[in-house]
Amino acid sequence: MNRAVVEFGALCALAVLVVGFVAYARRCGSPRADGGYRERPLFHPSVLREGLVRWTTTTDHKDVGLLYIAFGTVAALWGGVDAMMLRTELLTPAADVWSEATYNALFTTHGVTMLFFFVTPVFFGIGNYFVPLLIGADDMAFPRINAIGFWLLPPALLIARAGLPSQVAAQVLGALTSGPLVDFFAALEEPGIGWTLYPPLSTTTASPQIDLLLLGLHLSGIATTLGAINFIVTIFHERGEGNSWATLDIFSWSMLTTSGIVLFAFPLLGSALLMLLADRNLGTTFYAITGGGPILWQHLFWFFGHPEVYILFLPATGLMSQILPKFVGRKLFGFRFIVYSTLAIGVLSFGVWAHHMFVTSMNPRLSASFMAVSVAIAVPSAIKVFNWITTIWDGRIRLAAPGLLCIGSIGTFVIGGVTGVFLAAVPVDVFYHGTYYVVGHFHLITVGIIPMMMIAASYYWYPLITGRWYDRRLARFQVGLLIVGSVVTFGILLALGFQALPRRYANYPAEFAPLQQVATVGGYLIGLSAILWLYNMIWSYWNGDRIADADVWDLKESDQFTPEWQWLEDRLERKYDVEPTEPETVRASYTTDPEQGSPHVLTDPERLVRSVVGDTLYGALGGLIGTLAMSGVLFTGSFIGVFDVSAFAELGGLVGLGEDARAGYLLFILGGVTTWAILFRAIAEFLPGRLLVVTGLSYATIMSTGFTVAFYTGQTGLELVGYLVFALVAHWLYGLGLAGTIRYAEYRRTVGE
């Protein structure tokens, strides 16, 4: 199929639908009944002119933030269409939807668009809108540099991705006429060299669009650097009264660290890009074999590229740390350590780049040291994850869309992160580097937390930005779709990687088709969820329920009514006389009183340790008593011939101890003391029975069904009935012994106190 026309057509159709829908939603939402006020239609010349002047000249941080977000959304849709086309190609083992060259071009542009033009702009947009509000600044430090930083981006995107519109122009014009203009457009075709632009492919491929891509990326790098300088100066110098470093919020910390990384990563990429451009056009030898060699590009690129990973990731963690506590009613646990881990990532991110190059000719001793740092950088990320999980602990969890996204993306991020720890190990990486495992790993992060946190932020702050509610039911559905889609798609990519399917190919052996097809369906789910999100954002802007007061998330109840919401409250009071609300009940989000439900277990470590040890010992003792009582019944059964002790031998054989009944029996006792006792403790409260002893009996009854299957040795008729009865009775004794001992221990402890 004709790729350019299909993609361009899809994008145009999307644009037309969005604009039409905006007009429709706007019309539906106009207040008509109250006194004849009616908004002018969207396409009225005066509306267009005023809108154009207003948005192109604005320097207000909130406006620029929205521009960034809108631009990032457009880029995401463009890169998303690339992704949908990639997944469509992979529905069939042969490259028969698009050609191989098209497939290569698609994964190149998908990567470039998403990484450079989607993620950073959107996070800068969110930062633009909220950092000044959070730190109490009037605006960014340099409002106009802010504006120019944004306005350099759209031309950068158009230059970098000129290939697609050019191809369409060439085909449309070529159908009508011919001439130099057609040739010009035809020459610009999106290159299939991978987003990493490795030479010698990128220096020897003749496509002029590569030069445009390099220039576009350089321009976007300048825009990003300007934005980063602005953020740093803002956070250093524009904090409002009473906002010191000690009280700086977690999201601003993340943006500060991100900007610090940008400061050194992007300019270096800029120089590296210009060197590549010079190699292509001026005959320099920066990346030629005689000069620095292709490996130099890899070093320079990844010296930018790995910090870039954290430039994308850190703002997402900042949003998580900002939003998650609001939906569990607990203050962020380990705030200080999350800040330290963010700073640690900022520093370490510059010391891990060569783990992208383990399969090159790099000195193996270098590999070893980069492996060490790469494994080490997992520690600060893990610190964040554990602190998030601890924040959830004992919280009042609300499954609104932002909360759902937080919890879901902790899950996907853990998978994405842990698979990365394996990749950091040289031997594992050598094996998996060229496979789908890598694709699955990094997409679980780039989709599993980054856009999820963007969407969480969009829902969380939607009432603040628009004064209206989004459609909350649709949002929860959309969130579910996104999480399921991500896990399905990228989980399967991991599985394909385990089976060593090489990445970057349009075609693949037929036996992988079922998995690839499921992954594609998952990818479509992600695409659908993106459309639903966009629908919700647009429709609710004019038609959502109006908010009644500023405390839309009941944050005052947990004492987390942060500055941006206070700003909204002030504004509502000043403009619409909305009285500030007071909650009826307050449950502090942080307290040292254990009764209040804050995890401050370590106030009395000795008692904690004693109770843990005591519980363990009594559980084991109960298990032992139960198992011995059970053994008595079983041996009686074997004496009268309904139970065969050789079943123990099978158990021994199963775990590799050999077909020995004694070893199997010891294992049986060990299981009764540990596994089954722990399991009982874990699920006891979900089992029927008000008294613990009764619960033990029901637990034993359930267990016995599994036992009868596992220890069945071919009994029939009356023997079988006897076997079943003896097994059940034996288990009841186990349940009685176990639960009775634990109950006795509890009784003793209560009396002791």
Partner 1 sequence: MGVADETSDDHGGHGGHHLPAVEDWPRGFGEASWWPFITAIGGSGFYIGAALYVLGRGDSAIVSPMVGPGVFIASAVMFLGGLYGWLYHAFVVNFWEHGTGEHDDSTLRLAMILFLGTEIATFGAGFVYYFFIRAGTWPPGELPELFGTLVIVNTLILIASSFTLHFAHTGLLKDNRKQFLGLMGVTLLLGVIFIGGQVYEYYEFIVHRGLEFQGAVFGSAFFGLTGLHGLHVTLGAILLSIVFIRGLLGQYSAERHTSVSTVSMYWHFVDVVWVFLVVVLYVGAEFGI
Q: Is the distance from CB of 66 to CB of 129 less than 8 angstroms? A: yes
Q: Which of 293, 334, 671, 689 binds partner 1 (CB under 8 A)?
A: 293
Task: Say whether residue 18 binds partner 1 (CB under 8 A).
Answer: no
Residues 464-483 that bind partner 1 (CB under 8 A): 465-466
Rounded distance between C-alpha atoms, residue 55 and residue 459, angstroms: 23
Rounded distance between C-alpha atoms, residue 699 and residue 715, angstroms: 25
Task: Say whether residue 271 binds partner 1 (CB under 8 A).
Answer: yes
Which burial class, exposed, middle or buried, applies to 656 when counting CB atoms under 10 A from its CB (0-12, 13-18, 19+)? exposed
Q: Is 91 helix (H, G, I), strand (E, B) or coil?
A: coil
Task: Say whether residue 667 binds partner 1 (CB under 8 A).
Answer: no
Q: Which is nearer to partner 1, 53 or 679 (CB)?
A: 53
To the nearest whole angstrom, how small is the minimum distance from the Cβ of residue 680 to partner 1? 58
At how many degrees (to 10) do helices 61-89 and 143-151 cross? Answer: 20
Q: Which of 30, 59, 92, 581 binds partner 1 (CB under 8 A)?
A: 59
Q: Is the distance from CB of 591 to CB of 585 less than 8 angstroms? A: no
Task: Say whether residue 62 binds partner 1 (CB under 8 A).
Answer: yes
Residues 27-56 that bind partner 1 (CB under 8 A): 51, 53-56
Residue closest to 80 by CA, chosen among 524, 539, 537: 524
Q: Say which amino acid occupies 14.
A: L
Task: Say whether residue 637 binds partner 1 (CB under 8 A).
Answer: no
Task: Say whether residue 239 binds partner 1 (CB under 8 A).
Answer: no
Q: Is the distance from CB of 409 to CB of 401 less than 8 angstroms? A: no
CA angle in degrees (0–180, nearest 5) for 497-502-503 = 90
Q: Is the distance from CB of 63 to CB of 55 less than 8 angstroms? A: yes
Task: Say whether residue 216 binds partner 1 (CB under 8 A).
Answer: yes
Task: Say whether residue 362 binds partner 1 (CB under 8 A).
Answer: no
Task: Say whether residue 58 binds partner 1 (CB under 8 A).
Answer: yes
- Beta bridge pairs of residue 546: 468
- The alpha-helical segments, DSSP class H, found in 593-660 are 605-640, 646-654
Task: Say whether residue 416 binds partner 1 (CB under 8 A).
Answer: no
Cα 393 to Cα 300, 335, 397, distances in angstroms: 43, 15, 9
Q: Which of 4, 8, 25, 63 binds partner 1 (CB under 8 A)?
A: 63
To the nearest whole angstrom, how small is the minimum distance from the Cβ of residue 286 to partner 1? 5
Token duo for residue 745: 């221990």
Task: Say whether residue 290 binds partner 1 (CB under 8 A).
Answer: yes
Residue closest to 536 by CA, chosen among 464, 632, 601, 459: 459
Residues 133-192 that bind partner 1 (CB under 8 A): 138-139, 141-148, 150-152, 155-156, 159, 180, 183-184, 187
Task: Say whether residue 283 binds partner 1 (CB under 8 A).
Answer: yes
Residues 545-584 that bind partner 1 (CB under 8 A): 567, 571, 575
Task: Say whether residue 204 binds partner 1 (CB under 8 A).
Answer: no
Q: Is 400 helix (H, G, I), strand (E, B) or coil?
A: coil
Task: Say whether residue 248 binds partner 1 (CB under 8 A).
Answer: no
Stretch that binds partner 1, among 220-228, 249-257, 385-393, 397-405 (CB under 8 A): 220-228
Task: Say whether residue 219 binds partner 1 (CB under 8 A).
Answer: yes
Stretch that binds partner 1, among 204-212, 361-369, 513-521, 543-551 (CB under 8 A): 204-212
- Beta bridge pairs of residue 435: 502
To the nearest whole angstrom, how small is the minimum distance from the Cβ of residue 143 to partner 1? 6
- Beta bridge pairs of residue 188: none
Stretch that binds partner 1, among 282-290, 415-423, 608-616, 720-728 (CB under 8 A): 282-290
To the nearest whole angstrom, how small is the minimum distance from the Cβ of residue 176 to partner 1? 19
Residues 296-325 that bind partner 1 (CB under 8 A): 296, 299-300
Q: Which is nearer to partner 1, 218 or 306 (CB)?
A: 218
To the nearest whole angstrom, how small is the minimum distance from the Cβ of residue 181 to partner 1? 10
Rounded distance between C-alpha atoms, residue 413 and residue 419, angstroms: 10
CB contact set of 546 (below 8 Å; sequence gap of 6+): 467, 468, 469
Q: Which of 18, 233, 376, 578 binds partner 1 (CB under 8 A)?
A: 233
Question: Which contacts of 367-376 are long-range, i.e. CB under 8 A and separated by 24 or more positions?
Answer: 367/426, 368/426, 371/424, 371/425, 371/426, 373/348, 374/424, 375/421, 375/424, 375/425, 376/348
Stretch that binds partner 1, among 71-79, 292-300, 443-451, 473-481 (CB under 8 A): 292-300
To the nearest whole angstrom, how small is the minimum distance from the Cβ of residue 141 to partner 1? 5
